Amino acid sequence: MKINVGNSIFQKTVATIVCAGVLASAFAVSASATKNFSCFTSECWRKADIASHPRLVKNVALQSAQGEISHFRDFRGSVLVVNFMYTHCATICNNLGAVSSQLATRLASEIKQGKVKVISISFDPTRDDVANMQAYIKRLDHSQGLWQVARPSPASANTIIKRDFGIVVIKNDFGGFDHNAALHIVDKAGYLVSILEFVNLNEVEKNVRRLL
Amino acid sequence: MKLKKMLGAYSNLTCFNLKKYNSWSPHKCLISVTLCWLVIAVPPVSIWLKSTMLSHMLIQLSLLVLIGVAIGQQVNKIYPCLLYQTKVLRVSLLVLSIATMMIWMIPRLLDLAVENIWVDVLKILSLPLLAGLPLYCSWKNFGQIIHGILHLEALATLLRLAWLYIESPSRLCVQYGIDDQTNLGFMLGLISLAYALYMLINILIKPFVYEKH
């Protein structure tokens, strides 16, 4: 059997159609994997997902640095700015803590009225006991107690951290953890509505005030 | 003599085209390549490979593509019409191969391959079959000019990725740390240097060697 490869018009037409099909499907697959070429990382995807579909945060118990037990449902009626950290972190959690305390200072009057809460939640609740949380606050707080630190019960930690907020925590080489660092805004009804970069506090403040 | 034996064992194992030393039949080679595919795809080894960003991207992903190429080589020996019959579709196959490789370079998909087993299965199947095999079929059907362009583009992509991974202040994958990412960046830089050197030697020295013959 002898075929004159690449010479007949029929073959060329078929080849062109197949090529167009391959191009189109490659385009479609990459568009769907990147939210129409806007999100190439998982973190971006998480932010976009929450922005389009706010998620109700499950009611879990939290213990504050003062040792009081409260539930997530108790915070309904006020806007929450939540971030996740572990207290023996040497790098980004210190920034997160400092940023949270700075934000608490900016929103001082709203916090005193009970309209806003700025909370750092530990994702390492077994190690971060009350003493460790208090040391963390002492080290980083400049807002005179307006910023709160809390830990979930070890049993419910996974529910709130991984499933509701979508935080991925991995161990690093230095005995610590790598994790998503961002400020999570929960509205008055208890829905996680947006996830913002912690570097731009003006933007965060504007978003919180919009929800009041 | 010892070197010859060693090379023979190496080429038997990997089935690359060191024809002189390769004593295995294509069927045997095809089976061994498939076994390699299986080994890097199933747990103990795949978990180890996925534990760092460097081994996941540089070792597992590139091995999967190479396995596809090796399968193409052996199939071509068993069924010599392979290249001739795929000539018509050489452009489509090249586009398919490059698109598959580009899609697997998206950081989010690397994360998903660690988190979700089905994405991992997709990765393990698609890289050899939709990237390696088509690459082999189309590569052999193109001339030196296209080869040169592709080499240059591959080198540029490696350098761009190296730059991105070294310079990025934030983590691109949530499953891997920032140090891991920087390591990968430097390794990609080293590899692209070696690649550039290899191309340079090819361009500068090979023509003279051919002239002598």
Q: Which of B88, B137, B165, B183 to mutate to test the interface with A (most CBs of A within 10 A)?
A: B88
Provide the pLDDT for residue B118.
93
- Chain B segment 117-176 residues within 8 A of A by beta carbon are 170-176
pLDDT at A13 over 80: yes
Structure tokens at A115: 């309209």
How much of chain B, in percent, has pLDDT values that exceed 90?
Answer: 40
pLDDT at A18 over 80: yes
Q: 0.95 cut: is pTM over it?
A: no
What mean pLDDT is predicted for residues B198-205?
Answer: 84
Cβ within 8 Å, pair A19-B107:
no
Residue identified by tokens 């085209």 is B17
Structure tokens at A23: 């191009």
> pLDDT-derived band of residue B13, with 50, 70 and 90 as boundaries?
low
Cβ within 8 Å, pair B173-A41:
yes
Provide the pLDDT for residue A58.
82
Q: How many contacts does A have with B, using Cβ atoms within 8 A? A: 83
Provide the pLDDT for residue A1.
46
Measure in Å the smallest separation between the Cα of B92 and chain A Cα atoms. Answer: 4
B31/B42 Cα distance (integer angstroms): 16
A93/A182 Cα distance (integer angstroms): 10
Among B84, B170, B172, the residue with its CB nearest the CB of A5 is: B84
Query: Which tops the pLDDT comparison, B209 or A178?
Result: A178
Question: Which residues in chain B are closer than 8 Å to A180, comparing Cβ atoms?
Answer: 174
Question: Model confidence over B107-120: pLDDT tens digits?
Answer: 899 999 998 899 99
> pLDDT-derived band of residue A60, with 50, 70 and 90 as boundaries?
confident
Provide the pLDDT for residue A34.
87
Among A12, A34, A178, the residue with its CB nearest the CB of B171 is: A178
The secondary element (H helix, E strand) that includes residue B123 is helix B117-126
pLDDT at B10 over 80: no
pLDDT at B153 over 70: yes
Question: Which residues in chain A are closer than 8 Å to B92, comparing Cβ atoms?
Answer: 15, 18-19, 21-22
Cβ within 8 Å, pair A40-B106:
yes
Provide the pLDDT for residue A145.
74
Quick check: A167 and A161 in contact, CB under 8 A? yes
Measure in Å the smallest separation between the Cα of B51 and chain A Cα atoms. Answer: 11
Question: Model confidence over A113-146: pLDDT tens digits?
Answer: 888 888 888 888 888 888 888 888 888 777 777 8
B19/B8 Cα distance (integer angstroms): 9
Cβ within 8 Å, pair A41-B175:
no
Among A6, A11, A22, the residue with its CB nearest the CB of B92 is: A22
> pLDDT-derived band of residue B19, with 50, 70 and 90 as boundaries?
low
Contacts of B33 (CB under 8 A, 6+ apart): B15, B67, B70, B71, B74
pLDDT at B207 over 80: no
Cβ within 8 Å, pair B107-A15:
no
Contact status of B179 with chain A (Cβ, < 8 Å): yes
Provide the pLDDT for residue B210.
62
Measure in Å the smallest separation between the Cα of B78 and chain A Cα atoms. Answer: 18
Question: Model confidence over A66-84: pLDDT tens digits?
Answer: 878 888 788 888 888 888 8
Q: Sign of dihedral through CA atoms B119, B122, B127, B131?
A: negative
What rounded mean pLDDT belongs to chain B? 85
Structure tokens at A60: 């879990």
What rounded mean pLDDT belongs to chain A? 83
